[in-house]
Amino acid sequence: MKKRLALLLFALVMSGCSDNSSIEADGNYVEGVHYKALATPVSNQSQKVSVMEFFAYSCPHCELFEKPLHHWQQNIPEGVELVQIPAVWNEPMKLYAKVFYIGQGMQQKDKVHAGLFPEIMALRKVPSLEQQQAKLGEFLSLYGLSRAEFSQKISSPEVERKLQNAMELMSQAKIEGTPSIVVNGRYLVLNKSAKSAEQVMDIANYLVSLEKARLAAQ
């Protein structure tokens, strides 16, 4: 029942006050309604068109968004890549972002990533960051990462660099909520215009096609 209510809440958050009249007759989506162009594009160093998802482990909507997001990823267009970026607004979220990057380097990274949502949501009741870090170390040990390895990685220059990069990308894209989809550093999908998570990704597909056309014309 709780999961069903959460799904209904997520659908309401996505739909906002939109209706079908905001979609043009030819099926295109409308700038300013379904998406907005970023005033200053975020640099994309990849040779592929990037679809960036800014997410937070402490965000229930992000957990619900995982299934449609990765379903879309299974059918990802050629020349396109999904990049998940942890949002950071406070000190606990810096810790969670570091744990995300550690998890991404593990053999069972998909299971680790999925398991971190309920694990971190439960940690919100734990006031001490030291205790939270210790519990996250215990969680990762279930997937084969020793406590010593966790302690080494959590303060490593590589993980710190990835954290700083995530914070810079978030600042450049002016992300104010999660989940947020940014296509090739140029367009932000406006979630409230969508009736479902699937439509959010359909808008992303439309923006990918715009980017591919723009790059082909250069």
pLDDT tens sequence across 189-209 = 999 999 999 999 999 999 999
Domain membership flag for residue 112: yes
Read off the pLDDT of each residue in 120-141 and give the average, rounded to a whole number: 96
Domain membership flag for residue 2: no
pLDDT confidence of residue 22: 40
pLDDT band at 27 (very low <50, low <70, confident <90, very high): low
Q: Is the dihedral of CA 42, 58, 12, 196 positive or negative?
A: positive
pLDDT confidence of residue 2: 36
Q: Residue 54's beta-bridge partner residues?
A: 85, 180
pLDDT confidence of residue 23: 40
Domain membership flag for residue 24: no
- Could you give the CA distance from residue 76 to residue 73 in angstroms, rounded to a whole number? 5
- Number of domains the chain contains: 1
Domain membership flag for residue 109: yes
Domain membership flag for residue 197: yes
pLDDT confidence of residue 10: 47
Domain membership flag for residue 159: yes
pLDDT > 80? residue 128:
yes
pLDDT confidence of residue 99: 98
Query: 76-90 burial, b if ≥16 CB within 10 A, otherwise e?
Result: eeeebebebbbbbee
DSSP 3-state assignment of 49?
Answer: strand
Domain membership flag for residue 61: yes
The residue that leads in pLDDT, 17 or 95, is 95
Can you give the residue range of the structural domain that contains 56?
33-217
Domain membership flag for residue 48: yes
Structural contact between residues 101 and 61, judged by C-beta atoms closer than 8 angstroms: no
pLDDT per residue over 139-190, tens digit each? 999 999 999 999 999 999 999 999 999 999 999 999 999 999 999 999 999 9
The model's pTM is 0.87
CATH number for the domain spanning 62: value is: 3.40.30.10
- Could you give the CA distance from residue 106 to residue 92 in angstroms, rounded to a whole number? 22
